[in-house]
Amino acid sequence: DLMYGSGYVWHIPLAHVTKNPTLRDMLLRDGLIDDALLAHLQAHSGSNKRSFRLKRSMSALSQPFLLEFKRSILCLTVRAVGEDRRYETNTPLKYYMGCEKKYLVYAAGSALCRLERSTLPQHAGRRIMIMRLLKIVRPAKLPSRSAPTCNVSVPAEGELFKFGQRMWYRDVDKPGKSAETLRLLYDAPNDGEQASGQSS
């Protein structure tokens, strides 16, 4: 498949087909769209004059997302019960030097990651979400100024994120909107993926 630099598969919204005659004719020729769908798209192409940016949303745990190593906050759009919900949390690559001080360990880099239901022994009897690194998209780069000694690092492909020996995790049954959003994702059909908790 053709990929974006982010690691996601290249795609284009069908609504854009009506604005590109070359692409439209190619899709018609190859049978990927038909005249009825094209007529529908053309009829609705002007129904929304306001421009907007499409966001990639998750509706199952099997769907990967991009983690930028230099960002302090992980933002995900979760599609659940017919609406998009925004989920934000601190990334697993943030080092805490005190009650108020936080330090981002990496200056650059990114990876495709996935949230999973934990089956680790320490999480037995609780509904816990953990995070696995699937594939490095851009190699991790340390800042020019040396980082403080810490236990935060990018795991190898296929491994779970940790703080030292402790797993990065989120309890989906905690109170609050963030946990509620994760809970909807936790309870959603898993698209054939198995619940996971092994470190490799």
Spans of the chain, pLDDT less than 70: 1-13, 44-56, 96-104, 145-151, 190-200
In a shared domain, residues 105 and 156: yes
Query: Is 198 inside any structural domain?
Result: no
Give the residue numbers spanning the domain of 4: 1-53
Query: Is 192 inside any structural domain?
Result: no
Query: Is 150 inside any structural domain?
Result: yes
In a shared domain, residues 146 and 165: yes
Q: What pLDDT, on a 0 to 100 scale, did the predictor assign at position 3?
A: 58
In a shared domain, residues 4 and 47: yes
Alpha-carbon distance of 184 to 113, in angstroms, equals 19
Alpha-carbon distance of 1 to 98, in angstroms, equals 45
Task: Point out the domain boundary residue: 9, 28, 53.
Answer: 53
Amino acid identity, residue 172? V
* Total number of domains in the chain: 2
Q: Using an 8 Å Cβ cutoff, are 129 and 117 in contact?
A: yes
In a shared domain, residues 30 and 96: no
In a shared domain, residues 162 and 75: yes
Q: What pLDDT, on a 0 to 100 scale, did the predictor assign at position 136?
A: 93
Q: Which two tokens stand for residue 113?
A: 């990651």
In a shared domain, residues 43 and 62: no
In a shared domain, residues 120 and 72: yes
In a shared domain, residues 107 and 133: yes
